[in-house]
Structure 1
Amino acid sequence: MGNLLDMNPIISATLQTLSKSRILIENLDDQILINASIGPYYSSIGSHLRHIFDFYHCIIEGVKSNHVDLTCRKRDKEVETSCLIALEYLENIQRGLGNYPNILLKEVTVVDDLGLGKTEISYTHASLLAQANSHAIHHYAIINYILHGLNVSISDLSFGYNPTTPSL
């Protein structure tokens, strides 16, 4: 993986966003990762991280075929319950993104379920990665809510906030 400044801005931004996952995981233990006691949804930090990583895994797996099925995710429960496994999955995703081919403006067929069943959508690789980045930040906001409920803090004050959110 090269220097972030030498990469395409979308890949750089994506890797920068995902680096927040590393900071988070390295500051948690497995018991906090699996804790699903915070309402109203009672989901765990691990389940949100696994979901984020699965989204990127689908993208990376679909590069060669130029067909990304976002409904066909790994859903490996060990990622949700082990900081070590989650970190390994993250590192694989980061490697895959660091080696992403220079095809960001090329169209890619994406399969997703928008609520009415699976549908195929035409994206560019750039727009798909931008969506994945926003999707990750959205889940970071939920994770931040869970962290707050668990009285756990991390040192990154921008964690869970979209870069366009006005700061005080």
Structure 2
Amino acid sequence: MNKILQSTLKTLNRTDFILSLLNDELLSDATIPPYKSSIGSHIRHILDFYNCILNLNSENRVDLTLRKRDLLVESNCYAALQYCNHIKDKLMLINYDFDKSVTVVDDLGMGKIEINYTLGALFAQANSHTIHHYAIINYIMEGLRITVNDADFGYNPTTPKPSALN
């Protein structure tokens, strides 16, 4: 299995762990400032990003603006876990050439544009994007007083550990 795909699956497995710490009320709680977003909205967003990639079409195009946005995933732990497992199952079945060029459609704030990527670069971006949202989820969980016993959760692997800074 490709290292990018292995990293992706390793990162996504943390979603299962997070969901195991929650109930539906905590998943959908959007009371923590400053953004007042829920853990569920971030999980849904992460999974939608991967779903878009997995919907690569025959023209080698991925449209990141065509997200499912299934609100049940934001408020129901079982639905979120099912969606996560669906994404991971599809990832384990793919046999992509990660050096293949793809056209990515996205909106960076000024309307839709097309960007040339390799599939590997797109998956690497998705993995970093997931870790970024895990950092936000970690912040929300702290505000909800939910303990995450994973010192690496929400940290990019390149982030120096506090002990390495001394």
TM over 0.5: yes
Deviation by residue 1:81-127 (Cα, 9 ceiling, x = unmatched): 00000000000110111112231100011000011100011100000
The answer on 1:153 being equivalent to 2:147 is: yes
Partner of 1:17 in structure 2?
A: 11
Stretches of structure 2 that go unaligned for 5 or more consecutive residues are none
CA spacing shift, 1:157–1:63, aligned 2, 3 Å: farther
Alpha-carbon distance in structure 2 between the residues aligned to 1:78 and 1:153: 24
Q: Which of 103, 106, 118 lines up with 1:109 in the alignment?
A: 103
Q: Which of 67, 76, 82 lines up with 1:88 in the alignment?
A: 82
Residue identity over aligned pairs, in percent, reads: 54
Give the aligned length.
Answer: 162
Letter in 2 for 1:133: N
CA spacing shift, 1:106–1:147, aligned 2, 3 Å: same
Greater shift after overlay, 69-78 or 150-159? Answer: 150-159
Shift of 1:64: 4.5
Deviation by residue 1:14-54 (Cα, 9 ceiling, x = unmatched): 00000110100111111110000000000000000000000
Deviation by residue 1:51-73 (Cα, 9 ceiling, x = unmatched): 00000000001154421000010
Partner of 2:43 in structure 1?
A: 49
Runs of 4+ that moved beyond 4 A: none
The answer on 1:97 being equivalent to 2:91 is: yes
For 1:29-40, what aligned pairs fall within 5 Å after superposition? 29-40=23-34
